[in-house]
Structure 1
Amino acid sequence: MSLFAFITAITPGPNNFLLASSGAQFGVRQSLKHLVGIRFGIVCLLLFCAGGLAVALEQHPVVYKSLRYAGLGYMLWLVAKLIFLSGMSGSKNRGAPLSFLQAIVFQLGNIKAWMASLALVTSYSVPEQYWLSVLNIVVVFTVFGFFANSCWACLGSWIKAHLNSAEKQRMFNLCLGALTLVSLIPAFEL
């Protein structure tokens, strides 16, 4: 489970691309609320999955589609914000990192986070000690996820030294925005 949690959390996806951008734009310290919001949002997803929300959403497809499209809309808005972010450290319009609450809400439309949460709960929960095993899943995925997400924020911060012009920062934002869009393609499938 630890290996699965680490690989799932460290591989590229919407959260990691946005954290890399945030690290490059604002630094690791300013990105901490964003990072902690992601982890809190993932814990909520794990608990939703463990509590049977996925089954309830299957039984109510209109609610499922509404949540899905609202989440996708929010994710696309954040990608647009990333792509059009000015980015220069001295710029007055450089934006702000995602807040704690924005990062939590972002998870509702994050297909990778939902799939990882469902896979973890269904694969590693133990029926005889269900909630204890869910707690174990939450702790393991939070620890490995925090480490993995921190690596992406630090990578972005490290890359910042090479983004010494407005054009380079715009290209970096455009690339991360495009990668985030590509990572959302599975969410558009019916």
Structure 2
Amino acid sequence: MSIFASMFAFTFVGAVTPGPVNFIAASTGARGGYKKTVLYILGATISYTLVVVISGVCLGQVSQILPEITWFLKVVGGAFLLYVAYKIAMSKGFDLTHNADGDSLPGFWEGFLVQVLNPKAWFFAMSGVSLFALGRGDATLYFIVFSFASFILCFIGVSVWGVLGGYIGQFLSTPKRQTGFNHTMGTLLSVAVICMLVG
């Protein structure tokens, strides 16, 4: 497998596997459809790409201070994500004939914050830069390719969950099902946050 194929596989797997960003995308897609999830996805994607760029440019410095800032990221990020989980779990049923109001759904800045406050995003970005850019003959070229791949594949990976949520939304025809879905997504997000905090 070529270095670029490995890079793309690594990046896509990281973007599409379950986690807080993707659970929120699925919940948003179920409530408002994919189109109303795009701003959230874009915020998460730009945020992750920024994390990759910062990690690549400042890898030496970031790796030295990461143990100190990990605690901060876990506490602040965990608190923010638990707040989002609570809001999702307590959401009322929604009228599927009138999609959820965009103002009540997570948007660009929620996506941006969820991603930038996630310690795993930083570890994943640093791992990718270390694996696919550092120490190579043309490290700058590989770093640029990895950054672009991170943007494109993060957008695609999170979009998968937004689209999946949109399809799930079609089956949430009663307030009881909607409430159950909201509770489930809020619980999944809470569990993901707790695992992040204790991991």
Q: Same fold (TM over 0.5)?
A: yes
Q: Aligned to 1:100, which of 101, 108, 128?
A: 108
Secondary structure of the structure 2 residue equivalent to 1:184: helix
TM-aligned CA deviation for residue 162 of structure 1: 0.6
Mean Cα deviation higher: 65-74 or 133-142: 65-74
Query: How many Å apart are 1:170 and its aligned residue?
Result: 1.1
For normalisation by structure 2, the TM-score amounts to 0.84
How far apart in 2 are the matches of 1:118 and 1:180?
24
Contact persistence 1:85–1:95 (CA under 8 A): no
1:87, distance to aligned residue in structure 2 (A) = 3.6
Judged with a 3 Å threshold, the aligned counterparts in structure 2 of structure 1 residues 111 and 172 are, in CA distance, closer, same or farther, namely farther
User: What per-residue deviation string (whole Å, max 9, x for no partner) do you get for residues 158-187 of structure 1?
Assistant: 111110111111111111111112222332
**Identity of paired residues, percent?**
23
Unmatched segments (≥5 aa) in structure 2: 1-6
For 2:167, the equivalent position in structure 1 comes to: 158
From 144, 149, 161, the counterpart of 1:140? 149
Q: How does 1:82-93 map to 2 (within 5 A)?
A: 82-89=88-95
Could you say which residue in structure 2 is the equivalent of 1:123?
Answer: 131
CA-to-aligned-CA distance 1:41-69 (integer Å, 9 cap, x gap)? 1011111221235324237x2x5433331
> What's the RMSD between the two structures over aligned residues?
2.3
Normalization by structure 1: what TM-score?
0.88
Query: Residue type matched to 1:70 in 2?
Result: V
**AA matched with 2:115:** Q
- Matches of 1:105 and 1:92 in 2, distance apart? 22
> Matches of residues 54-65 of structure 1 in structure 2 within 5 Å?
54-58=62-66, 61=68, 63-65=69-71
Q: Which runs of 5+ in 1 are unaligned?
A: none
Residues 121 and 164 from structure 1, CA distance in 2 versus in 1: closer, same or farther, beyond 3 angstroms?
same
Taking the aligned partners of 1:64 and 1:160, their CA distance within structure 2 comes to 36
For 2:109, what is the secondary structure of its paired residue? helix
The secondary structure found in structure 1 opposite 2:104 is coil
Q: Tell me the secondary structure at the aligned position of residue 151 of structure 2.
A: helix
Judge which range, 153-162 or 2-11, deviates more.
Answer: 2-11
Q: Is the 8 A contact 1:19 1:156 kept in 2?
A: yes
Match of 2:47 among 41, 46, 64: 41
